[in-house]
Structure 1
Amino acid sequence: MKGTLSALLLVTAFISLTATAEVNVSVTVVTTQVVSFVDELFIGVTLDSHLLPISQHWGGLDFNSQKVQSLAKGLSPCYLRIGGTLGDRLTFDPTGHGTEDVNHTFTGATWDAVNTFVQDVNWKLIFGLNALKRKEGNWDPTNAKELLQYNSAKGYQLAGLELGNEPDHFNETYNITGTQLGIDFYNFKKLLQTIPGYGITPVIGPDMASVTGSRTPFFIDFFRGGGDKAVDRITFHQYYTNGHTAQLSDFTDSKLMDKLVSVVETGLGVSRRTNPLTPVWLGETSSCYDGGAPGISDRYVAGFLWLDKLGIAARMGLKAVLRQDFYAGSYALIDTDTFDPLPDYWLTVLYKRLVGGGVFSVAASVDNSTIRAYAHCTKPSSYYGYAPGSVTMYFLLPTDNTTSMTFPQFPEQPVDVFWLTPVDGLTSKSVALNNNQIKLVNNTLPELRPNRMETNTVTFPGKSFGFLVFPEAHVAACSSQ
């Protein structure tokens, strides 16, 4: 019934396995209550600090490339976080003249290049300062001040500043406790308030490598030490598994996907004890740590972990997810040699174009290893012309079974299909939208138009994923966006 949805959010499913192993699923979504809300900056990207030193020349990334700029603009507006392990070894030297340690020094020219880029592509820069510059046991802000003064003189804007990367590793080597880091953050916040132009710059952290198990006490102590009064965004990192040992089957493993839930629960649980209103982010995240899984983390199959992560994060109330990374490593969004967009790039573009702020719970009476479903209000935009009140759902089908989905809520309504499949197997570096391979044309993003179907039942192959938009859903909770 057009414009009318049930009172409770429910996804019911019934399965009948035929000789062709087809799964039939009836999906009913009741959207009377928004469980969370995300904004257009929900997805951000990262560049690793190891690209900054004089010796690296940004690892070959050409900020002036028309292709790179077009791809970056396709993700805007977007946070760019520059951070990583080497960030806690770096020193800023405005000129670099006479610098001997070219592997741990970055210059004003390097800073100029990235700031010009983010301005050109409508990104917002977050930078991680070196927390291992110490003096008498406390963080020494001398070099950070030099960078901030240079930044002010150039008129560059910062969307946030971090202090240290994965500091829960510090205690193992440098005897820096969570309490001490909280003190450092508190002093950093006070320092920023005394420097003209930085009084309201968000302090972001602590960028924990992990918040579970033996790392939880460090996280708790950070807030007790003064971090609770310093942070404007709370961050921790998450990866599913080791890139050196990951297998192809890991990327469609629902049990592995579900492990994110307990990580987020712990992170939110600790954060909300002292900072119930402070936004919590996945400040760095991807499929596999240690650079990703070669030949897998940048291929079509990686989209299962990436899309599911976005769904879980939004549903559980996280406010940003920063993807490691835009360039470099085996989990990049663009190819290191050619700058060509990889499958997760296109998935991210579609998410940014289609998925709006209001988030709805989705439950199923079947095991979520069969179908994983998420629902949002559709993003209002002139690009596709969707009116407020539309609903976007996205699905992952991690099994080999062909799946037929029926939506009795939306009888006699059209559905716009944006379904992504590999061009050549799960490890394909190319992806098709509705069976048409997506390609750049003259360094310009294609339109990425849907197939409109006048039916409330759609069928898709196993081990695939995509988006469905119901443009005539008329959901009241989405009408005010």
Structure 2
Amino acid sequence: MLMVGSLSLLAMTGAMLGAATPPVDPGRFAQVAKVDDQYQAYNVEMVEVVGGRFWAPYPKPGEPRPQPAAGGSGGVDIAAVMFRKREPIDLAGDTRLRNLARALGPTYVRVSGGWANAVYFHDSDTPPPATPPKGYQSVLTRAQWAGVVDFVKAVGGKLVVSFPVSDGARDASGVWDPDQARRLNAYTEKLGGHIYAAELINEPNAGSMVGLPKGYDAVAFARDMAVFRAFRDADAPQMKIVGPGSTGEAGFVIMPRNIGVVPTDALMSAEPRPRVDIFSYHFYGTVSKRCAAMDKSAGISPDRALDEDWLARADSTATYYKERQQRFAPGTDIWITETAQAACGGDAWAATWRDSFRYVDQLGRQAKQGVSVVFHNTLAASDYALIDEATMMPRPSYWAAVLWARLMGNVVLDAGRNEGKLHLYSQCLRGTPGGVALVAINLDTANPASLSLAGKAARYTLTADNLDAGSVKLNGRTLAVGQDGVLPNLKGVAARGLQSLPAASISYLTYPDARNPACP
């Protein structure tokens, strides 16, 4: 077998050695992009902070379908049967949650979502109003926001937000009034916190469906963004403006066709031209079963979870928005400020091992596309969360996320073109000059994949008993956390020579001695 350099990698699927691609050396992987040091980030929905009606769990076998509940849905105008009342999350006192979040590494924590568009910040230590003021749908207290700020500090994060923009946050002529944003920013600073970046609106192209005034259009957006920039310059000059934060474009149906979605092209072309420091969009490849009734072409069946056409939607969407970033905000970073298995809370299988393949593959694809930060939605709410909100137990994708955070650095390398069922992505090894990290995703559910390695490496292979499992194994040992949420020691095993990667597995491989000149 031909070896190239001190470290060589020969990748193939199945048992046929003759099907191998030419050997490559991780030490020679070329740089193709660079991501933020905190590339992998996450969302805490505003509805989690204040309490309210969020995506309802799917009925278990034999359980009746949920009935519509009274009350608003934070401005998210979809069938009420999809939601269930939830109490506020305990960000201030839940040690287990903090430890689990801390293990994801210092990163960005975004507190937003459709519910943030219509929340009223009660900037007082007096009891909050029993009902939200006119034009709002929920109330955020000082104590709740103090919990957010303290949580972000405790996990070493950077706070990203969006602001109230509903009818209550507007003047008599319908123009956005920055008073609520000004108060929230001032109170954050008073607590010793800092809003690193902000979108004015969560998903402005969805209009009244997400709590914006009826008839909200591109002209109104441009007008509001001008006011937003003036507020930033005067009151929060260090805060970065992120936007537009659009969703449901690039050909994938995630909203009803009849709601009058305003295209990103129109939002960013209106005068005065909106200016952003970071270009953002939301990516959901489809909607969950909760919302599939809005369009017969929407939805994804679990048996397609590992198919290339499903996974490749991340690429086509990134290409779509990169073109708009280059046209409307050249030179800026690109953030995906929301993404998950599916919009509307995710399908039931979003909580299983089956979705971990999309989770990791998407991170690899989007890094190669030049996306700087990816915010997973959510940390601990609904089926698509990394952590089960009822048990506070990590879901399979959480463990893949922890390994990514620990091993994958910010320089993106070219591990070659993905072909067949074995997908390879590479970045510099975090904290190790010259080192290389590789993630190998075996999408073949029946056959192992083979890797031929020369030189020293450490291997971290994640597997599960089946695709619908709710727990995973690292190198054959089941992963679990203690009651305090502290993780076990995640150790790799030595890897040298021909390696067999199990069917339906995700393996991280580290090469500390690769001497790749692109890895400072």
TM-score (norm 1): 0.87
> What is the aligned partner in structure 2 of residue 334 from structure 1?
387
Report how far residue 284 of structure 1 moved.
0.4
Map Cα deviations across residues 183-233 of structure 1 (whole Å, 9 max, x no partner).
3122211112112xx112111121111342599972123222368653111
Inter-partner Cα distance in structure 2 for 1:354 and 1:418: 10
Alignment of 1:324-473 (within 5 A): 324-364=377-417, 368-380=419-431, 387-407=432-452, 411=454, 413-422=455-464, 424-441=465-482, 443=484, 444-455=486-497, 457-473=498-514
Question: For 1:73-152, what aligned pairs fall within 5 Å after superposition?
Answer: 73-95=102-124, 97=127, 99-101=129-131, 104-132=138-166, 133-135=169-171, 136-152=173-189
SS in structure 2 of the partner of residue 477 of structure 1: coil
Match 1:184 to one of 195, 217, 224: 224
Any conservation in 2 of the 1:3–1:475 contact (CA below 8 Å)? no
Q: Distance in 2 between matches of 1:226 and 1:343?
A: 46
- Say if 1:152 and 1:469 are closer, same or farther in 2 by CA, change over 3 A: closer
CA contact (8 A) 1:185 1:231 kept: no
Instruction: Give the secondary-structure state (helix, strand or coil) at the position aligned to 1:230.
Output: coil
Q: Which moved more, 1:469-478 or 1:72-81?
A: 469-478
Instruction: Give the Cα separation in 1 of the matches to 2:429 and 2:176.
Output: 45
- 1:343–1:430 CA contact under 8 A, matched in 2: yes
Q: Is 1:51 equivalent to 2:48 in the alignment?
A: yes
Whether the aligned pair in 1 keeps the contact of 2:206 and 2:262 (CA below 8 Å) is: no
Distance 1:231 1:256, change over 3 A: same
Corresponding residue number in structure 2 for 1:384? none
Question: CA 1:27–1:286 in structure 2 vs 1: closer, same or farther (change >3 Å)?
Answer: farther
| Helix, strand or coil at the partner of 2:434 | coil
The range that moved more, 326-335 or 25-34, is 25-34
Gaps of 5+ in 2: 53-84, 252-256, 290-298
1:292-332 Cα deviation digits (max 9, x unpaired) = 112x1111111111001100110000000000010111011
User: How many matched pairs?
Assistant: 457
Corresponding position of 1:38: 35
Residue 272 of structure 1, aligned match among 321, 326, 334: 326
Amino acid at match of 1:71: L
Structure 1 residues 355 and 425: CA distance shift in structure 2, 3 A = same
Of the candidates 68, 71, 85, which is equivalent to residue 100 of structure 2? 71
CA distance in 1, matches of 2:40, 2:226: 28
Distance 1:459 1:163 in 2: 49
- For 1:349, the aligned partner's letter is V
Q: CA deviation at 1:114?
A: 1.0
Measured after TM superposition, the shift of residue 448 of structure 1 is 0.5
CA distance in 2 between partners of 1:373 and 1:237 (Å): 25
Partners of 1:121 and 1:151 lie apart in 2 by: 16
1:348 positional shift = 0.6
The equivalent residue for 2:202 is 165
2:4–2:25 contact (8 Å) kept in structure 1: no
Structure 2: how far apart are the matches of 1:319 and 1:302?
Answer: 22
Shift of 1:144: 2.0
Partner of 2:307: 253
1:185–1:353 CA distance, 2 compared to 1 (3 A): same
Q: Secondary structure at the match of 1:237?
A: strand
Give the stretch that moved more between structures: 78-87 or 202-211.
202-211
In structure 2, relative to structure 1, the CA distance for the partners of 1:434 and 1:210 (3 Å cut) is: same
| Aligned match of 1:301 | 354
Q: Tell me the distance in 2 between the aligned counterparts of 1:234 and 1:348.
A: 24
Partner residue of 2:75? none
In the aligned structure 2, how far is the partner of 1:17 from the partner of 1:341?
Answer: 34
User: What amino acid does structure 1 have at the position aligned with 2:175?
Assistant: N
- Tell me the residue number matched to 1:383: none
8 A Cα contact 1:158 1:201, kept in partner: yes
Q: Which amino acid aligns with 1:429?
A: G
Preserved CA contact (<8 Å) 2:448 2:503: yes
Aligned position for 2:373: 320
Structure 2 SS opposite 1:242? coil
Which residue of the other structure, out of 254, 264, 268, is the alignment partner of 1:219? Answer: 264
RMSD of the alignment, in Å? Answer: 2.7
CA contact (8 A) 1:334 1:340 kept: yes
Q: Tell me, what secondary structure is at the counterpart of 1:454? A: strand
Once residues 57 and 400 of structure 1 are traced to their aligned partners in structure 2, the CA distance between those partners, rounded to angstroms, is: 37
The offset of 1:24, in angstroms, is: 5.7
Q: Could you tell me how far apart the structure 1 residues matched to 2:221 and 2:232 are?
A: 16
For 1:51, the aligned partner's letter is: E
* DSSP 3-state at the match of 1:159: strand
SS at match of 2:403: helix
Secondary structure in 1 matching 2:383:
coil
Flag the 1:42–1:16 CA change in 2: closer, same or farther, 3 A. closer
Bigger Cα displacement from structure 2, 51-60 vs 300-309: 51-60
- State the secondary structure of the residue aligned to 1:297: helix
CA distance in 1, matches of 2:512, 2:309: 33
Structure 1 unaligned residues grouped into runs of 5+: 381-386
> Displacement of 1:126 after TM fit?
1.0
Alignment of 1:285-300 (within 5 A): 285-294=339-348, 296-300=349-353
- 1:43-86: CA deviations, max 9, x gaps? 11101122233667854445312211211111121111111111
